[in-house]
Structure 1
Amino acid sequence: MIEVHELTKRYGRTTAVNGLTFTVRPGHVTGFLGPNGAGKSTTLRMILGLNAPTSGTVTVGGQVFRDRPRGLRQVGALLDAHDVHGGRSAAAHLSALAHSNRIPAARVARVLEEVGLTAAARRRIGGFSLGMKQRLGIATALLGDPPVLLFDEPLNGLDPEGVLWVRGLFQRLAAEGRTVFVSSHLMSEMENTADHLVVIGRGELIADESLAAFSARGNRLSVTVRTPDAERLAPLLTAEGAAVRHEDERTLSVTGLPADRIGELAFQHRVLLQELATQAASLERAFMELTADRAEFLAGDPR
């Protein structure tokens, strides 16, 4: 279990993490989401004792992680797949870590097989693709057979088969009763993998709840309307109490008004409709709605 209480990290006048409190429980895949600059990586580094908090506490299994000997037996982590010695082979890299953490040497071959790198065990890591480095990073996290696992953007560089494999791996690890904490910007993967979410923005907690509960936050059905007369239709819909957003010159996204009523209004005012489609709620929609004012970097209007 990971317990974060009032965790704060400041760099001079910049507050990267501000009073975060949440718990990551065993038996679940917990997704860690937030816009760029939200403080996710800083939080993960404080969990692992790589950065010291300005205030607050974070414990793993009831203890501060940096105080634990032979850490790989307690927590496995993938933070940066490139952070390895390119001149070493995969087997040598894992063997050195196993020796320093008093992990049986047999675990090296076992985890290499589990991540699909047995054939590349003697190859130098410098020649690995990004996907292979991601697999090696996952092997490193699994090496000590730990009860707690942290992964930062573990799907970068993986092909579709690799994505399916990682999805199944995380779910299996959670089913074994382990604590699995996954930071990712891929909403579709969190929808398919996680069953609980911790969402932050600008270093502050936005949500700590089940995937279903979070997705339900964005459950307002929207209707996509495509028409060559969008400028005339939009105020008609607004007058009926709808919220209207222009996706482009011909496309409107409408909430607060059902598709049949939109169709009636268009017919009454002789507005040609080329598309009228109700859109279901999604995790991505809920995420965008809740973090819209918490993103550090916002793209400007290109027009």
Structure 2
Amino acid sequence: MIEVNGLTKRYGDVLAVNDLTFTVRPGHVTGFLGPNGAGKSTTLRMVLGLNRPTAGTATVDGRPFTHRQAGLHHVGALLDAGDVHPGHSAAAHLSALARGNGLPRRRVREVLEEVGLAGVARRRVGGFSLGMRQRLGIATALLGDPSVLLFDEPVNGLDPEGVRWVRGLFRRLAAEGRTVLVSSHLMSEMENTADRLVVIGRGELIADETVAEFAARGTRADVAVRTPDPAALAAVLTRAGASVRADGGESLMVTGLTAARIGELAFEHRILLRELAPRTASLEEAFMELTADRADYLAGDRR
């Protein structure tokens, strides 16, 4: 379990993380989300003892990570897939870590097989693609068979097969009772992988809840409508205050009216409906809406 309590980090006048408190429990894949500059990487580095907090604490299974010896037995982490000497082979890199943490040599072979790199174990990392380096970083995190795992943008550079593999890996690790925290900017991956979300913006907590609960907080609710007379229905709904988007066929996407009210208006104007389906906000839509005022970098922002 990861427990963050009142965590704060200042860099001069910049408040990167501000009084952040959340808990990541075992048995779930927890997504760690936030706009660029939200403080996600800084928080992960403080959990691992790589950055010292200005205030507050971050503990792993009740103790600061820096208080543990042979840390790979307890926590596995992928923060930067490029943080490997390019002249080393994958096997040499993992073997050095295994020796330093008192791990048996067989673990090197096992994790290379697990991530699909056994066939290139003797190749220098400098010749690896980004996806291969990501797989090596995941192998490094798995090396000590730890109960707590942290991954920062783990699917960058992976092909579709690799993305599907890593998604299944995270689910399996959580099902085994491990604590799995995954930082990502890809909402589709979080929607398909995570059970819970911790969402931050400008270093402050926005949400700590299930994916479904977070998505439901989005206020935008569309209704998909299909009718043989879309122009007439669009005119009626627009006069009633709705926003209507047409696809050029029979389908309309309506915002601003409930499905019940749309049905009533169609009935009153004798317009046949073939489909009337409420649609809640997607995770991405909820994220964009709920973090809009917490983003430091916005397209078109000329501050």
**Percent identical across equivalent pairs?**
70
Q: What is the CA deviation profile of residues 76-131 of structure 1, one whole-angstrom value per residue up to 9, with x for unaligned ones?
A: 00001011100000000000010111111110000000000000000000000000
**Aligned-partner SS, 1:56:** strand
Q: What 5-or-longer segments of structure 1 have no aligned partner?
A: 269-275
Letter in 1 for 2:139: A
Matched, 1:29 2:32: no
Map of 1:103 onto structure 2: 103
8 Å contact kept, 1:259–1:278? no
Letter in 2 for 1:120: V
The aligned counterpart of 1:273 is none
Counterpart mapping for 1:96-175 below 5 A: 96-175=96-175
The aligned residue for residue 297 of structure 2 is: 297
**Counterpart-to-counterpart distance in 2, 1:15 and 1:42:** 11
What residue in structure 2 maps to residue 217 of structure 1? 217
Instruction: Tell me how far apart the structure 2 counterparts of residues 50 and 245 of structure 1 sit (CA, whole Å).
Output: 51
Against the structure 1 CA distance between its residues 228 and 34, is the aligned structure 2 distance closer, same or farther, given a 3 Å change threshold? farther
Letter in 1 for 2:106: A
Structure 1 counterpart of 2:256, which letter? T
Separation in structure 2 between the aligned mates of residue 205 and residue 245 of structure 1, nearest angstrom? 34
Normalization by structure 1: what TM-score? Answer: 0.86
Alignment check: 8 A CA contact 1:224 1:254 kept: no
CA RMSD of aligned residues (A): 3.0
What's the offset of the Cα at 1:260?
Answer: 6.3
State the Cα deviation string for residues 183-218 of structure 1 (Å, max 9, x = none): 011111111111111000111000001122112212
* Counterpart for residue 57 of structure 2: 57
Say if 1:187 and 1:284, in contact at 8 Å, map to a contact too: yes
Contact kept? 1:85, 1:125, Cα under 8 Å: yes
Output the CA distance in 1 between the equivalents of 2:301 and 2:50: 39
- Aligned partner of 1:261 in structure 2 is 262
1:281 deviates by 2.8
Partners of 1:17 and 1:190 lie apart in 2 by 22
Output the TM-score relative to the length of structure 2: 0.86
> Cα deviations across residues 241-282 of structure 1 (Å, max 9, x unaligned)?
x5x5999xxx986234448639958x97xxxxxxx9854432
For structure 2, the residue ranges without an aligned partner over 5 or more in a row are 247-251, 270-275
**Distance of 1:301 and 1:202 partners within structure 2:** 16
Structure 2 counterpart SS, 1:293: helix
Q: Secondary structure at the match of 2:294?
A: coil
Counterpart of 1:190? 190
Cα distance in 2 for residues equivalent to 1:252 and 1:213? 23
Helix, strand or coil for the counterpart of 2:92?
Answer: helix
Count matched residues: 291
Residues 233 and 17 (structure 1), Cα distance of their counterparts in 2 relative to 1, 3 Å cut: farther
Distance 1:35 1:258 in 2: 33
Contact 1:223/1:259 (CA < 8 Å) preserved in 2?
no
Cα deviation, residue 48, structure 1? 0.4
Aligned to 2:68: 68
Measured in 2, the distance between the counterparts of 1:181 and 1:174 equals: 10
Matched, 1:236 2:219: no
Residues 252, 194 of structure 1: CA spacing in aligned structure 2 closer, same or farther, 3 A cutoff? closer
Task: Report the secondary structure of 1:215's partner residue.
Answer: helix
Structure 2 match to 1:6 = 6
Partners in 1 of 2:165 and 2:8 — Cα distance?
Answer: 35
Partner of 1:90: 90
What's the CA shift for 1:299?
1.3
4+ residue runs over 4 A deviation: 232-235, 244-247, 262-265
